[in-house]
């Protein structure tokens, strides 16, 4: 009797867990890569078509064949500028993560604070970051601090909001389960609410990064610090010289950094969502 029962149960488990073998790893990488390569090719082709149309003189709008070699020839300059700009972005983002997370945690824990400050945090997000710069320059002068201030004030509200939304979306049944298991107060918050909030928090981080990156580039155009060749400054210098191939080359670098960062965040997000079972495997 007992053995039949065990076999029944094991058989049912095996039947229910059967999954069709998916495509091979190489096939998956290829199917994820070719649309991106195609998109890049299409973008370059469109650009070249605009140049061929003689909508603007080639001196003002050079084609990819003129611009792309600049990236290679002046690689050193672009690497230095990228180092400066990325350094600023990471430092500002790190501060924003700390402030946004602490702010989110405090607001999420207190009902009074939420009604008082929660709406204010959201309304901060509607403020275009560039509108903060005049005030930042008045407060901090043409310094790193004013750039950092605008990055933080642009990114922190998104991060705080992601955290709060994550806490709010903790499924009530998980809270009940935690309660029954004896998790109360801080323990319940640490062991259940925080992990439950993680996917939404990461989405908030991603959005926060996007805000930080935009704020930073706006800042580098407005606040130029002597002797530091940032990407924003290069844009401005290339326009004034004028060295238009360098202008477009710099834009490509900025775009590429944005795409890489987005891919990194999306990768982390996807991994977490898959881990949590939030991805429908049938439509993967």
For residue 262, give the nearest of 214, 190, 219 by alpha carbon. Answer: 214
- Nearest partner of 87 among 246, 266, 229, 264, judged by Cα: 229
Q: CA distances (Å), 122 to each of 103, 157, 228, 246, in order?
A: 12, 7, 34, 38
> Given the complex with other proteins, which of 9 and 65 has the nearer CB atom?
9
If one asks whether residue 226 binds other proteins (CB under 8 A), the answer comes out as: no
Number of residues that bind other proteins (CB under 8 A): 31
Q: Which of 102, 174, 237, 251 binds other proteins (CB under 8 A)?
A: 174
DSSP letter assigned to residue 229: -
Among 40, 75, 191, 263, binds other proteins (CB under 8 A): 191
186 is an interface residue for other proteins by CB under 8 A: no
56 binds other proteins (CB under 8 A): no
Smaller CB separation from other proteins, 170 or 207: 170
Piece of the chain touching other proteins by CB under 8 A; list 130-138, 158-166, 172-180, 207-215: 172-180
| Nearer to other proteins (CB atom), residue 1 or residue 26 | 1
Rounded distance between C-alpha atoms, residue 153 and residue 243, angstroms: 34
The structure tokens 């982390």 sit at 268
Q: Which of 138, 180, 226, 282 forms a contact with other proteins (CB under 8 A)? A: 180
Computed from CA positions of residues 21, 27, 30, 31, in that sequence, does the dihedral angle turn out positive or negative?
negative
Binding track, positions 263-282, relative to other proteins; x by CB under 8 A:
------------xxxx----
Residue number, 70 or 192, with CB nearest to other proteins = 192
Nearer to other proteins, 7 or 43 (CB): 7
Q: How far apart are CA 163 and CA 204, in angstroms?
A: 7
Maximum separation of any 2 CA atoms in the chain, in Å: 89
Cα dihedral value 271, 277, 279, 280, nearest 10: 150
Which spans of this chain sit near other proteins (rule: CB under 8 A)? 1-2, 5-6, 8-10, 12-13, 16-17, 173-174, 176-177, 179-184, 187, 191-192, 195-196, 198, 275-278
């Amino acid at each position: 009797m007992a053995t039949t029962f065990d076999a029944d149960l094991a058989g049912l488990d095996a039947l229910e867990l059967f999954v069709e073998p998916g495509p091979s790893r190489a096939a998956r990488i290829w199917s994820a890569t070719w649309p991106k390569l195609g998109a890049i090719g299409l973008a370059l082709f469109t650009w070249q078509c605009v140049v061929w149309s003689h909508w603007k003189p080639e001196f003002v709008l050079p084609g990819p064949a003129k611009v792309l070699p600049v990236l290679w020839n002046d690689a050193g300059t672009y690497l230095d500028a990228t180092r400066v700009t990325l350094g600023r972005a990471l430092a500002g983002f790190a501060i924003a993560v700390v402030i946004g997370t602490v702010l989110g945690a405090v607001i999420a824990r207190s009902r009074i604070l939420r009604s008082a400050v929660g709406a204010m945090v959201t309304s901060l997000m509607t403020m275009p970051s560039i509108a903060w710069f005049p005030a930042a320059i008045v407060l901090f002068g043409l310094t790193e601090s004013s750039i950092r201030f605008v990055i933080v004030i642009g990114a922190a509200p998104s991060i705080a909001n992601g955290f709060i939304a994550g806490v709010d979306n903790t499924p009530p049944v998980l809270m009940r389960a935690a309660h029954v298991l004896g998790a109360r107060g801080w323990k319940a918050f640490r062991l259940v609410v925080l992990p439950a909030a993680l996917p939404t928090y990461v989405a908030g981080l991603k959005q926060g990064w996007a805000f930080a990156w935009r704020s930073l580039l706006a800042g580098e155009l407005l606040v130029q610090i002597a002797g530091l060749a940032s990407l924003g400054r290069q844009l401005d210098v290339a326009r004034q010289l004028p060295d238009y191939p360098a202008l477009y080359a710099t834009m490509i670098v900025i775009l590429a950094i944005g795409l890489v960062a987005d891919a990194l965040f999306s990768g982390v997000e996807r991994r977490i969502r898959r881990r949590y079972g939030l991805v429908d495997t049938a439509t993967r």
